Structure 1
């Protein structure tokens, strides 16, 4: 067998003349070509912070084709950021290359595409939606079609610059955030702009229309789980189709990105950058969730805990004492539900305890946000209100879903609680109720179903 082994594995040192198994492997070289639309700097924005920083693959120069290479795959898995030399020009982005040795051109349209990808849409779906919006211009197929629409890209850029430089557009926002909102608005308006440009090749006359769209909320999607939209066979993790021998991967789940809208006290939609809101509408499920307060004098305080009560199930005195050590008048989940109904928060009289699956729909498994120094698994742009408690379980929220999973522990009854804070954020836990020997008080976020 030795000669055969030497033929099959010539690098084995046992065959003589080979290198040591400990010899370092040569890292692969990843490459792409970027076409700079003007003089400036382009980088693979590894940390996606809207600036080119040391350590990121970068190239600077005049307009035209430039080569980038790196030994790490971040070059292919990170979006491109183009910063023009002219301070009055637009900063542009482009989705990640995903494949080696591609040629990419940042344009206003590629920036709209990256806006949708950053919102959580899989790249293929985001591109398909963008091309559908551009149908009046007969853009063709594939990513290259976006760069070929030079006239529309130029007009789109002029419109974005005009909106950015108009101080009446989204007043009070920093320039970077204002431009981000403009890109969001242009995504919403794209089919209308394409129809207009097809009839009359200009877009500046649409500035007032864009301004009217921008005063409305532009709900941003947010990818769930780890944001994985590609597949792996155990070696290559950038495959665009799921291998038959590696089924059930995350990208096959088809899970919709998280998408929310802020509501005022009467249940009316607010601008996405509103500083104050009372409820959050889930645009995927149609459910409306209460927003908690940071007010120790209010039952809606984000730090408050409650004893579980539902229908004929009432808490023990030990549970009441644990959840409400100060003898608070509103102490059980049912008392709080009745109180919130009486408040008609967001114009709603129909608040209830959420089911476990409904709480699970809020979990943002890819979250890197931190609250009170701990990981929080919610979209904190809409739910910045996961409070700590003086009890044992901060970030644990009651559901109305009962489970027999703790019967072997002699727990007569358990309800599933979902965890949104700390090391266990993103999981759930069967929590005993109606048990004097194991009293519990957890936090609470009520939900409502509203038909609009």
Structure 2
């Protein structure tokens, strides 16, 4: 399972199938489950549509269990899906006419939320519950969200005893509640989970006082725009790509259905969660880009880059042409300006020596790709460890000619390195992961340690610490260290 390495890990647990909640428990009738509560937000139509956010994208999609609240904001949702008790509850509210809504993709609806509390009754949806749900969107438990929100309130002189979700309409929280709802209405970006998570984490850092006064529209819009800027600079988590389950009945083949004897498997959680008997997941959201950086149709046969729509990162596409500098298996020596100078013997074994060009190190390669403005970008660089690990698709089943499953989603990354055979794991490409917590009394002076990430077959996601030589190593007394290909990354909007 992919570790939680960057912000925005949306992994609220969905409860398994089965159990009982209806009066008819016969084999021919599925049990039903009910979740009810009240919309108590200020300045919204209480007769709002309320839904159980099964796919956790923080909007009410067609087919998700829902109902319409009455004039008092009271709602009740019934479904055969037990997960309605544990996923976020959303109230769909009209954003109204806002002067700042300049994006053509801006929705006329916003969604205030409440975390799934496993409560059949007594659920409450307002601005304060939305803050708790925002912490949940960032992978934080309700208990941890309570503690974080209490700490934020304490800085502004408000002390809440007990759990905040039990006192969401407290009078001392009224102004904060109103301001949070106003800010959610002002969001322009469709990545609602990220925006809500950032609002929860940073409302107390706004120049405007969210807690003790009612904000003007200008103050609300300014902070919403600030959070939009945070989105452009962030790297959010994808899921693992795993959508199938291990079965104790047939351990030679994964199955599509959750296994009651093995609960809590990876496929039951997060973006990868699918409905029974389907073979689709939403662990990754990629788009193909042409040479100018424009989005292509998803079935385009040729593309130059891939946009990770969840993280905002753009990834270089490789080729299968050995004469291209962007060939998937072109080997480079590591060079990070101001940090690592290239080692002579690694440069001598780079692909440039057999191709007769000058692109021998990772920095040479960065400069070349920037010089051609690939996909209209000139800020290409090596990815960080976290950025590349976030790209791994542990559910990919396509294999290379050696029968090794690919580590990246094949549909968007068909040309992946075959790797070299003298490292711990195969399929590695360079990242910026120099580490300083590794020690060996046999380490070479001028060398350093580096985290290699395996990307093929059973090595997908495994990490090995390698000693890499820099230009400070005496090449007369040592052989080469390592050479890997590189897959560069750029930030959308930069």
How does the TM-score come out when normalised to structure 1?
Answer: 0.51
Do the aligned partners of 1:81 and 1:93 also contact (CA within 8 Å) in 2? yes
Query: How many residues in Structure 1 have an aligned counterpart in Structure 2?
Result: 327
SS in 2 for 1:115: helix
- Superposition map of 1:117-156 within 5 A: 117-135=136-154, 136=156, 138=158, 140=160, 141-142=162-163, 143-148=165-170, 149-156=173-180
Does structure 1 residue 359 correspond to structure 2 residue 385? Answer: yes
Is the 1:139–1:146 Cα contact (8 Å) retained in structure 2? no
Whose radius of gyration is greater, 1 or 2? Answer: 1
Contact 2:208 2:219 in 1 (8 A): no
Are the aligned partners of 1:397 and 1:443 in contact in 2 as well (CA < 8 Å)? yes
| CA distance, structure 1, for counterparts of residue 327 and residue 123 of structure 2 | 47
Structure 1 match to 2:220: 207
Q: Verify: 1:79 aligned to 2:88, yes or no.
A: yes
* 2:114 pairs with 1:94: yes
Mapped partners of 2:110, 2:396: distance in 1: 32
Deviation of 1:224 after TM superposition, in Å, equals: 8.1
When the two chains are superposed, the root-mean-square deviation of aligned CA atoms in Å is 6.0
Is the contact between residue 90 and residue 157 of structure 1 (CA under 8 Å) also seen in structure 2?
Answer: no
The question of whether the paired residues in 1 share the 8 Å contact of 2:417 and 2:428 is answered with no
Matches of 2:388 and 2:418, distance apart in 1: 23
Alignment correspondent of 1:283: none
Other structure's SS at 1:91 match: strand
SS class of match (1:190)? helix
CA contact (8 A) 2:316 2:488 kept: no
Q: Equivalent of 1:190, from 200, 203, 209? A: 203
Separation of aligned partners in 1, 2:153 and 2:331: 52
1:24 shift after superposition: 6.0
Give matches, 1:438-449, under 5 Å.
Answer: 442-444=484-486
1:211 Cα deviation after fit? 5.7
Match in the other structure for 2:402: none
Tell me, which stretches of 5 or more residues in structure 1 are unaligned?
Answer: 1-22, 165-169, 228-233, 239-289, 379-384, 404-413, 434-439, 448-452
The match for 1:388 is 415
Could you list the per-position Cα deviations for residues 183-216 of structure 1 after superposition, in whole angstroms to 9, with x for gaps in the alignment? 4664465225698365544554623642663464
Q: Pick from 429, 443, 463: which aligns with 1:397?
A: 429
Q: 1:107 deviation in Å? A: 1.5
CA–CA separation in structure 2 for the residues paired with 1:432 and 1:114: 44
Aligned to 2:247: none
Partner of 1:60: 68
**Residues 112 and 181 in structure 2, CA contact (< 8 A), matched pair in contact too:** no
Q: Which segments of 5 or more consecutive residues in structure 2 lack a partner in the other structure?
A: 1-25, 41-45, 97-107, 242-260, 266-312, 335-340, 372-376, 400-404, 421-425, 439-448, 469-481, 490-494
- Residues 337, 313 of structure 1: alpha-carbon distance in 2 compared, 3 angstrom cutoff: farther
**Relative to structure 1, is the Cα distance of residues 198 and 70 closer, same or farther in structure 2, using a 3 angstrom cutoff?**
closer
Question: Residue 230 of structure 1 corresponds to which residue in structure 2?
Answer: none
Q: Is the 8 A contact 1:398 1:443 kept in 2?
A: yes
Q: Deviations over 1:63-91 (max 9, x none)?
A: 43333344544223322222247976642
- Which has the larger displacement, 62-71 or 415-424? 415-424
Work out the CA distance in 2 between the residues paired with 1:327 and 1:131. Answer: 63
Normalising to structure 2: TM-score of the pair? 0.47
Contact 1:139 1:145 in 2 (8 A): no
Is residue 36 of structure 1 aligned with residue 28 of structure 2? no
Of stretches 368-377 and 390-399 in structure 1, the one that deviates more from structure 2 is: 368-377
Residue 6 (structure 1) aligns with: none
1:427 aligns with 2:462: yes
- Secondary structure of 2:36 counterpart: strand
Q: Name which of 108, 111, 115 aligns with 2:127.
A: 108
Q: Is the 8 A contact 1:398 1:415 kept in 2?
A: no
* Cα distance per residue 1:342-380 (max 9 Å; x no partner): 9xx9999xx9x99xxx736852399689899997679xx
How far residue 137 of structure 1 moved from its aligned partner, in angstroms, is 6.2
Task: Work out the CA distance in 2 between the residues paired with 1:85 and 1:339.
Answer: 49
1:174-185 equivalent positions in 2, closer than 5 A: 176=190, 183=196
Structure 1 pair 188–71 and aligned structure 2 pair: CA distance change class (3 A): closer
The structure-2 alpha-carbon separation of the partners of 1:389 and 1:209, relative to structure 1 and needing over 3 Å to count, comes to closer
